[in-house]
Chains A and B, each alone.
Chain A
Amino acid sequence: MINIKLKQNIEYLTSLFLSVFAALFIGALIMMINGQNPMVGYKALVVGAFGTKYKIATTFAKTVPLILTGFATAISFMSGIFNIGGEGQLYLGAFAAAYIGFTFTNLPVFVAVILAILASALVGGLYAYFPGVLKVKYNIDEVITTIMLNSVAILFTTYLVNYPFQATQGKMGGTDMIGLSYKFTKLVKLSKLNTSIFYTAIIAIVMYYIIKKTSFGYNFKMVGENSIFSRYAGLANKKYMIRAMVISGALCGIAGCFEVYGVHYRFLQNISKGYAFDGMLVALIVRNNPLGIIFMSLFFAMLKTGSISMEVATGIPSELMLVIQSIIILFIAGEQGFKNIFKKFRANRRKLVK
């Protein structure tokens, strides 16, 4: 039997790379229209992302929330229930973790960190649990509820940090600092890269293992692909959908915790810059593939860090990278359409050759 899996993977990777290159090519065209040299621009981008130790560290630091929210999206989307509420879960998770950090300042570091992670996972998971239950029990569209719950969470935490938990010293829109010793160690001076990347790596490995190697991952996938079939075959669909939501929410919550303990050391009212949505794009592009999430997160992080340096160095606006991201998604979404065009093209060529 021929190795179909390998063939499918190669086919998929080819189309992914083609999409990325096509997007970069269009980005180059835009630079040229603007009168800038794309080679210079892209060089500045890569140098900006990987040129120095500090820059590499910054790029890797940016992968942390992307990987976490990427896996959060993957687990829910693959199970056929769509958690679009990652941003809200992240905010609540971050606040919960910060609360532990500034309330109990004298715990052993180890205990405090574990507590913070658990609290953020619990709060994030719980916040995703309710829309999950509404979905499976009353068939209330989870896409709508989770989107709306984003605003609820963000505005609620904004209230919290501006009123009951406003920082005692000056700072507006933020809580008190977490206990000094709780801060995650920085790996590279001045950069944002900290030990949370190791925790993230562990979580990524665990998620990879669950999705790819266990019966649970298999069940999530089957429920997502054909829920009538999975019920027929004896799976408790509702349970799996709720589980997927809770895991998804927990991962977003943890992403929030890492932002607090690794980067800001307090909760800020605008702590996330749309991380959950970026993570969603990452997962969508790689179709929930675990390894893909890791690499695509790195690519997105590179675009983010690099584009700022690029703007400084060459004057090419960093927003161009948003254009490139969008184009990649457009291409991936249009993949089937392109395949058909290619097929026609090839068929025509065959005719001409004859």
Chain B
Amino acid sequence: MAQKIIELKNVTKRFPGVLANDDVSLHVNKAEIYAVVGENGAGKSTLMKTMYGLHAPTEGEVYIKGKKVEHFSPSTAIKNGVGMVHQHFMLVPSFTIAENIVLGSEPRDKKIFVDKEKANEIVRNLSKTYGLEVDPTVRIEEVSVGIQQRVEILKTLYKGADILILDEPTAVLTPQETEDLFKVIKKLVNELEKTVIIITHKLNEVIAISDRVGVMRQGKLVGEVKTSEVTEKKLAEMMVGREVLFEELSRDEIKGEVLIKAENIVAKDNRGFDGLKGVSFEIKAGEILGVAGIEGNGQTELIEVLSGMRELKSGNIYINNQSTTGFTPKKIRDLGVAHIPEDRLVMGLSKESSITDNMLMGSQHNEKFSSKGIHLKRNVIVDHAKDLIRKFDVRTASEEVTVGSLSGGNMQKVVIAREFSFDTPILLISQPTRGVDIGAIEFIHDQIIKKRNEGCAILLISAELDEIFRLSDRMITLYEGEITGEFKNGEISKNDIGYYMTGNRKESK
């Protein structure tokens, strides 16, 4: 019989007005990979935070290595050998990798100074032991997200963790990095007897890596299964509580005119280098052009330059046959463009404002919502917001709550609802389903296809290849600001497209 390394008994966690965890009992065995899946707001993160001691359960008990946890705090958890890697990394960018890893318990030189050489040595040894390759002397700000995650893992291992909790570890990784991470996890578990608990909403990953899965829904643990005995589809059903179909989307063939045309566009990235180096493409009405690529290869620059948020350095963009050089975002919107941005919190929403006010943005001068464009018609505005909340199934207690208090998936629905409500012929969409749960993904995909079938020209940027392949009519691969290939959907497989996403060029005929 496997040894129970963590056990939760009837854990309930209440926040004011919310029952985040409802009588959850589960255990994790030593040296296994346990996955926790569930929709947004199902209570996964709350449960993990309880395990890591970030808060105490309202009711119930937690046992770690057979010992009851009396005092809930991260320091107790670390003492007990529990380490957590958060979704958002907690690293000091200007410190080297070694400095970050030993931060808080640095090796001392004559008890005063940090012994950097020794720190580097320690990190090199850790690297070797766990098979997590890093260069200890490089600064965090100079390394990729994948490496940063390794550093986070090493940090917890350095503190002596043998139970690792990983919160959405693959959300920020490229497919290659994900593969590497999984290799590391398997090594940690199989060879070094570590225990790994992984929170995720990507079911294919659950199937690929875990030994057992706990499925959460609305705060409850609705099922616990051996991974070998379950399918992706079955897991999705358990998560959502109903069948999830992901049917083939029906497509109408529309041969429309070109609505977006990019000619050799060049744009700077935030560091001042060329993020886009001469990109050309066309999108017709009734067509979805998917942009596949590892994040950070010019996608951000592409959508921002098209929407007017970023300056065009050279080249030409025509929207509806109108050159948009020098246009403000407002002028571009007036040409019939809606834009779902990559980062909803930075660009797509005002967190402190109510849902109503966020839904109004962009149409506040519309005669429908304000007489003469000035006096706001509050009733109409509220009704409009309520209508969109219903149509797009935004889960909220009221239309007056601040958007910042919604879950990520619901925030995304607010953005999509607003941008789709403009009924524009052109849509620029980036990461439409990031952080969105399965049931809602299905819905959002349906909406996008509906827009396409109505004759919209759609640019779709996504880090999820599944999404690109499901929705696009055509796709291009972007690598270091250049297009490396263009394909019709069906012409290439998901596995093969990775070849072009990493810089290899399609031979042009």
Surface stretch bound by A, among B187-195, B256-264, B326-334, B436-444: B326-334
B398 near A225 (CB under 8 angstroms)?
no
Task: Tell me the bound Cα distance from A119 to B307 in angstroms.
Answer: 42
Task: Tell me the bound Cα distance from A142 to B84 in angstroms.
Answer: 43
A221 near B353 (CB under 8 angstroms)?
yes
In the bound complex, residues from chain A placing their C-beta under 8 Å from that of B333 are 233-234
In the bound complex, residues from chain A placing their C-beta under 8 Å from that of B307 are 232
B309 near A226 (CB under 8 angstroms)?
no
Within 8 A of A (CB), among B330-375: 330, 333-334, 339, 341, 346-354, 357, 360-362, 364-365, 370, 373-375
In the bound complex, residues from chain A placing their C-beta under 8 Å from that of B346 are 228-229
A1 near B397 (CB under 8 angstroms)?
yes
B360 near A5 (CB under 8 angstroms)?
no
**Chain B: minimal CB distance from A303 (Å):** 30
B374 near A215 (CB under 8 angstroms)?
yes
Interface string of A217-252 (1 = CB under 8 A from B): 011011001101111111110000000000000000
**Chain A: minimal CB distance from B284 (Å):** 25
Knowing A1-B398, A4-B401, A215-B370, the reply to whether A226 touches B376 (Cβ < 8 A) is: no
A353 on the interface (CB 8 Å rule)?
A: no
In the bound complex, residues from chain B placing their C-beta under 8 Å from that of A5 are 354, 398, 400
A219 near B364 (CB under 8 angstroms)?
yes
Task: Tell me the bound Cα distance from A218 to B363 in angstroms.
Answer: 11
Partner of A232, one of B339, B360, B397: B339
In the bound complex, residues from chain A placing their C-beta under 8 Å from that of B309 are 231-232
A3 on the interface (CB 8 Å rule)?
A: yes
A218 near B375 (CB under 8 angstroms)?
no
Task: Tell me the bound Cα distance from A216 to B398 in angstroms.
Answer: 25
Partner of B399, one of A1, A229, A232: A1
In the bound complex, residues from chain B placing their C-beta under 8 Å from that of A4 are 397-398, 400-401
Within 8 A of B (CB), among A1-26: 1-5, 8
- Quick one: which of A216, A218, A225, A233 has the most chain B CB within 10 A? A233
**Chain A: minimal CB distance from B492 (Å):** 33
Task: Tell me the bound Cα distance from A216 to B333 in angstroms.
Answer: 19
- Which residue of chain B has the shortest Cβ distance to A346 in the bound complex? B16
Task: Tell me the bound Cα distance from A229 to B330 in angstroms.
Answer: 12
- Which residue of chain A has the shortest Cβ distance to B419 in the bound complex? A233
Knowing A222-B353, A234-B330, A235-B330, the reply to whether A229 touches B374 (Cβ < 8 A) is: no
Knowing A4-B398, A222-B353, A229-B348, the reply to whether A236 touches B328 (Cβ < 8 A) is: yes
**Chain A: minimal CB distance from B321 (Å):** 21
A234 near B349 (CB under 8 angstroms)?
no
A273 on the interface (CB 8 Å rule)?
A: no
Task: Tell me the bound Cα distance from A298 to B352 in angstroms.
Answer: 29
Task: Tell me the bound Cα distance from A235 to B361 in angstroms.
Answer: 9
Binding site for B on A (CB under 8 A): 1-5, 8, 213-216, 218-219, 221-222, 225-226, 228-236
11 pairs from A and B in contact (CB 8 Å cutoff)? A1-B386, A2-B397, A4-B400, A4-B401, A215-B376, A216-B374, A218-B364, A222-B361, A229-B350, A234-B362, A236-B328
Binding site for A on B (CB under 8 A): 307, 309, 328-330, 333-334, 339, 341, 346-354, 357, 360-362, 364-365, 370, 373-376, 378, 386, 397-401
